[in-house]
């Protein structure tokens, strides 16, 4: 919810009995052009996706106490029946818990790396920066002309 702002419940008609909700999606920027990710990051590969599928199915079976554990179609029908009995918030919470547990089981968690901050050099200024760029440009021009 940190990324959503300016919620407005619209008054215009829609094709259903619900009002249209408008909002803005914003990003959290740390001021250096990088985005701060506020969740867990996983390292994934193709083999881990197979583990994830198996773990997710197992989690759903245990969470919703399913009796059919082998046939995917019958399991799907049974889960649909179970889902219809839940209220929306509980359903979302349970599904999110199942997916998170499956991710934690199947994938490795990426460790956050702190980015190195550059030390500031007090005597370096814009004039020196321009001179340095000019010298780099001249060095490149000389080396390309020398090769020809």
Gap between the Cα atoms of 96 and 102, Å rounded: 10
- Write out pLDDT tens, residues 108-140: 988 766 666 667 777 888 889 899 999 999 998
Q: Break the chain into its structural domains and give their ranges.
A: 4-109
- Write out pLDDT tens, residues 50-70: 999 889 888 888 888 887 777
Q: How confident is the model at residue 36 (pLDDT cuts 50, 70, 90)?
A: low
pTM greater than the 0.75 cutoff: no
Three-state DSSP class for 112? coil
Residue 1 tokens, joined? 């919810």
Mean pLDDT computed over 27-51: 72
Phi-psi label, residue 82: left if phi above 0, alpha if psi -120 to 50, beta otherwise: alpha
Three-state DSSP class for 50? helix
- Three-state SS string over 79-90 comes to HHHHHCCCCHHH
Check the CA dihedral 140-141-147-148 and report its sign: positive
Q: How confident is the model at residue 148 (pLDDT cuts 50, 70, 90)?
A: low
Structure-token match 């506020």, residue found? 38
């Amino acid at each position: 919810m940190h990324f959503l702002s300016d919620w407005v419940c619209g008054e215009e008609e829609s094709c259903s009995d619900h009002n249209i909700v408008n909002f803005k999606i914003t990003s959290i920027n740390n001021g250096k052009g990088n985005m701060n990710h506020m969740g867990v990051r996983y390292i994934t590969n193709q083999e881990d996706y197979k583990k994830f599928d198996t773990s997710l199915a197992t989690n759903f079976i245990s969470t919703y106490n399913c009796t059919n554990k082998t046939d995917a179609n019958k399991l799907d029908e049974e889960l649909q029946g179970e889902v219809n009995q839940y209220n929306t918030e509980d359903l979302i919470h349970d599904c999110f818990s199942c997916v998170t547990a499956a991710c934690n089981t199947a994938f490795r968690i990426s460790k956050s790396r702190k980015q190195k901050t550059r030390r500031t050099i007090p005597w370096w200024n814009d004039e020196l920066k321009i001179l340095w760029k000019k010298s780099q440009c001249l060095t490149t021009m000389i080396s390309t002309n020398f090769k020809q």
